């Protein structure tokens, strides 16, 4: 352990330190430096999760366009198109609000995971927040776990509110069997995870934080139109259905329909089946591809910086 060599000479300066006094430890601080235990990954990840949640709910744009958006859309669509007992599908048909709920649930999952992370990370990178974090002993994994944790929590709260709104305000019958809720759980977790890792990977695409929402929002919007969220999937032209099948939102929405629609509605699916295996396969594929791309392309600094 080295001792402090007095620096050559201290130039005299103002000596008033009333506002700038830092307490010095009685012991030689360097003697103990580098020996204290580094905080555990779990502890830092939890601190990150809490901070991310705080940040998210204080950002008005995020709260409106990510958190509240599906709730607002459900309220508007169910009110407008559900008038006079309108139904979807062959007789007796499914009440419009009930048909619309799974689409909004799927949209909520995508917004809270994909759109949230693609935008927030692009902005953090642009503003220098990521670079600042990289210069600390925060384990990089804690950053991603914090993002995941906050996404899962915001998304879960969003689901509770969305399903609650559907049930209480629009009288949608909620599933009563455990296997339905089990389906909900795996589609939700897999969809959120896939959306989150894809959001991390996609955050490197926008050239700047300011352009991020201009790049991300249209993609999300187009997916909503072609994936059976705003329109009944069966009513879409076949080619559009084929395009939508490439992206996860269609599968998320279909998986959620299998949770919230009555059993007879399965026959009304384009394929005549809920296709749970295909849904799981597509979501896992996005999870893996997003993870690989995210790990390979993630940058803590702006593109024009190092």
26 makes contact with other proteins (CB under 8 A): no
237 makes contact with other proteins (CB under 8 A): no
| Tokens representing residue 294 in the block | 């995210």
Distance, CA of 292 to CA of 58 (rounded, Å): 31
Distance, CA of 208 to CA of 126 (rounded, Å): 6
29 makes contact with other proteins (CB under 8 A): yes
| Tokens representing residue 61 in the block | 């744009």
Quote the least distance from Cβ 112 to other proteins, whole Å: 18
Q: Which of residues 128 and 171 has its CB atom nearest to other proteins in the complex?
A: 128
Q: Is 18 exposed, middle or buried (0-12, 13-18, 19+ CB in 10 A)?
A: exposed
Tokens 């169910």 -> residue: 78
Residue count (the chain): 306
173 makes contact with other proteins (CB under 8 A): no
Q: Which of residues 51 and 80 has its CB atom nearest to other proteins in the complex?
A: 51
Contacts (Cβ under 8 Å, ≥6 apart) of 138: 44, 48
Quote the least distance from Cβ 143 to other proteins, whole Å: 11
3-class DSSP assignment, residue 94:
strand
Q: Given the rule CB under 8 A, which of 24-32, 105-113, 190-198, 216-224 is the region that contacts other proteins? A: 24-32
CB 89 within 8 A of CB 268: yes
Q: Binders of other proteins: how many residues, by CB under 8 A? A: 53
* Among positions 64, 72, 90, 132, the unique one binding other proteins when judged by CB under 8 A: 132
39 makes contact with other proteins (CB under 8 A): yes
Query: Footprint of other proteins on this chain (CB under 8 A)?
Result: 2-11, 13-14, 16-17, 19-24, 28-30, 32-39, 43-44, 47, 51, 54-55, 58-59, 124, 127-129, 131-132, 134-139, 301, 306
């Amino acid at each position: 352990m080295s001792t402090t060599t007095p620096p050559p000479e201290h130039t005299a300066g103002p000596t008033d330190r009333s506002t700038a006094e830092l307490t010095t430890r009685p012991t030689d601080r360097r003697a103990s430096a580098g020996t204290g235990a580094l905080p555990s990954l779990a502890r830092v990840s939890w601190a990150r999760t809490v901070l991310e949640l705080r940040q998210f709910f204080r950002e008005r744009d995020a709260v409106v366009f990510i958190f509240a958006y599906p709730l607002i859309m459900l309220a508007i669509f169910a009110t407008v198109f559900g008038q006079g007992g309108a139904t979807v599908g062959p007789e007796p048909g499914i009440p419009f609000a009930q048909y619309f709920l799974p689409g909004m649930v799927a949209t909520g999952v995508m917004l809270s995971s994909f759109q949230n992370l693609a935008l927030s990370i692009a902005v953090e990178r642009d503003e220098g927040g990521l670079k600042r974090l990289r210069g600390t002993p925060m384990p990089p994994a804690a950053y991603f776990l914090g993002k995941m944790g906050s996404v899962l929590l915001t998304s879960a709260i969003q689901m509770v509110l969305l399903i609650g709104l559907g049930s209480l305000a629009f009288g949608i019958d909620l599933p009563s069997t455990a296997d339905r809720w089990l389906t909900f759980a795996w589609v939700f977790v897999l969809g959120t995870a896939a959306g989150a890792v894809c959001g991390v990977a996609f955050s490197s695409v926008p050239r700047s934080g300011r352009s991020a929402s201009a790049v991300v929002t249209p993609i999300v919007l187009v997916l909503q139109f072609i994936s059976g969220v705003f329109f009944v999937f069966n009513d879409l032209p076949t080619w559009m259905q084929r395009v939508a099948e490439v992206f996860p939102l269609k599968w998320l929405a279909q998986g959620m329909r299998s949770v919230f629609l009555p059993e007879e509605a399965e026959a009304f699916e384009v394929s005549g089946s809920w296709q749970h295996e295909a849904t799981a396969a597509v979501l896992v594929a996005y999870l893996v591809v997003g993870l690989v791309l995210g790990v390979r392309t993630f940058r803590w600094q702006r593109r024009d910086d190092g």
